[in-house]
Amino acid sequence: MMKNGVPLLRVLIVDDEPYIRKGLKALIDWEAEGYYIAGEASDGKNAIQLLKQNEYDLIITDIMMPDMDGMELIHYVNNHKLSTARFVLLSGFYDFQYAKTAIQCGCCDYILKPIQKDELLTTIRKIVEEFHRNAGIEKMTKAYEKAYLDRHLLAIIWGKYDCINLSYVQERILHTNGIAYIHCELSLNDERFVILSEDSRRAQQRKLYNYTTLLLKDYSNHIVFNIMKHTECYDIGIIYCSNMANETGLTQQEWLNRLVKELSERVGYEVIACMGNMVQSFRLLSESFREALMIRSFRFCKKNEGRTSRFCKRDSDVQVVQSASFKKQLDELLHVIEINDKVKIKVMAKNFYRSIMSKDFDPEAVNSNVQYLLYRLLGLGYNQDADIDQEEIMQYIRETVYTSNGENENEQKFQQFVLEYSDYLAQLRQNSDKGILDKIEDDIQQNYADNISLKSLSEKYYINSAYLGQIFKKKRGCTFKDYLNNVRVHKAAELLLYSDKKMYEIAIDVGYKNQEYFINKFEEVYGDTPTRFRRKNLHINKVT
């Protein structure tokens, strides 16, 4: 039972005289004091039966009772670790030795009969105060322990762990029969969520974490808050173990679907989840993590994607690799892409495309093979630079491959994509921007109000768009999109202070067609809406 959001303490009254039990219940307003009477027993033996079936926080028991008296009850409970409840002893006579023994046995107090209301109130108020104080300390201790566990888990998830991290996590996280990483986030495809302010989005992210903890109950240690650390990613991580699905009698996919459905309903916004492969130890968890992120990236390339996606293990999925000859053909194509052999790329890309589009492959198999190819291409990029932003690469793939009018890409389009991606890998190996970033930044400063994009700048400066996104992230510590927004917002702030233009005019002048989006971005940078910013800073001569 709850009162004002605070759980009431459960009381068990043990006395062989019914009128004493009845009188105790009526003597005070138990709920007003933070308690409720959860059970009654006529002697110690009956009390033990109740204690085996229910939990109590406070036991008020008479000392002198038939069969099993109060002192025997206390000894039994303590010796058998039956309950952690506090005791209050009732007695018709005062005996110092009894009181001393009672305190040593763990009783919090000793009350004489006939019971006085003031004495009872003093006793139970002291107990409830101590109980809440201890509960607060316990809650804080658990929070510190969870934060410490999360630090070790993050090191393992990111693949930057040592033996101390492994030992600590293995002792606290269930991992028998394998584990897998599940990336779970609030979807940026949900327009209701996108229009929220940054603070509101983060609040919903915290709500997602809390509801997941509530749903997974005994597996709350398996949940980590905010893994990605991206500006626009509102995620949690779940360390999945097979027991989670087994205990519900569901398959892995059914369990994941149900979890995401319940989370979406409770949070009120669309939730998506991407699951990596099962691995046999924490040493390999980072691989499952990377696979989950690759699946996350693929989602934005595929149309009508559902809320959950799982990584299909390529060695066992017949639709991904249908024959040894097909696998050989794919490996050869990947090799010439990696070494940037343009002549062989053209020939092998054409042959590979014709193979996957042949009548021998059903549409589902074609889709699986294309997704597997993208996974392998993304892996080539990761091998060149472990810090690459997969989202930038998939954005490039999305713009390059998935822009035709038909359902399938034509042979020439596919061939061109493979050639360009090979050039991108070559640029990654060179790992040099050759001063191009300075030129591009100057361009942005001059033309921030125009319809600027990574694609338009990459075409203008003859540089691969995915690679341009990577060097922006490395050199400036933010994505191209964030950099452009910061430039535009800063220019908007100057106009707010040094011009009489209306807010919607300023939004258009700096490149924003959507006024609400402009307000949200401005708030993220300056912590105020444009209107409040102008009002508060009219006396300032320059923008900081």
Per-residue pLDDT tens over the stretch 321-345: 445 677 788 888 888 888 888 999 9
3-state SS of 423-452 is HHHHHHHHCCCCCHHHHHHHHHHHHCCCCC
pLDDT band for position 406 (cuts 50, 70, 90): very low
pLDDT at 262: 95
Angle at alpha carbon of residue 350, lines to 317 and 421, rounded to 5° = 80
Per-residue pLDDT tens over the stretch 140-181: 777 788 889 999 999 999 888 888 999 999 988 987 789 999
Residue 431 has pLDDT above 80, yes or no: no
pLDDT at 300: 46
Residue-wise over 400-419: b if at least 16 C-beta within 10 A, else e? bbeeeeeeebeeebbbbbbb
pLDDT at 213: 92
Alpha carbons 8 and 417: distance in angstroms, whole number: 65
pLDDT at 435: 60
pLDDT above 70: percentage of residues in the chain: 79
Alpha carbons 383 and 465: distance in angstroms, whole number: 19
Q: What is the DSSP letter of 8?
A: P
Mean residue pLDDT across the chain? 81
Cα distance between the two ends of the chain: 53
Question: Per-residue pLDDT averaged across 188-204, rounded?
Answer: 92
Residue 363 has pLDDT above 60, yes or no: no
The per-residue DSSP string of 73-127 comes to HHHHHHHTT----EEEEEESS--HHHHHHHHHTTEEEEEESSPPHHHHHHHHHHH
Could you give the C-alpha distances from 532 to 501, 503, 523, in angstroms and in order? 15, 11, 10
User: Which positions ≥6 away from 455 have C-beta within 8 Å?
Assistant: 399, 465
- Ordered by where they begin, the domains of the chain are 2-134 (3.40.50.2300), 173-309 (3.30.70.270), 312-431 (no CATH), 435-544 (1.10.10.60)
36, two tokens = 């409720």
pLDDT band for position 468 (cuts 50, 70, 90): confident
Q: Could you tell me if 201 and 208 are in contact, meaning their C-beta atoms sit under 8 angstroms apart?
A: no
pLDDT band for position 125 (cuts 50, 70, 90): very high
**Percentages of the chain per state (helix, strand, coil), in multiples of 5:** 60, 10, 30
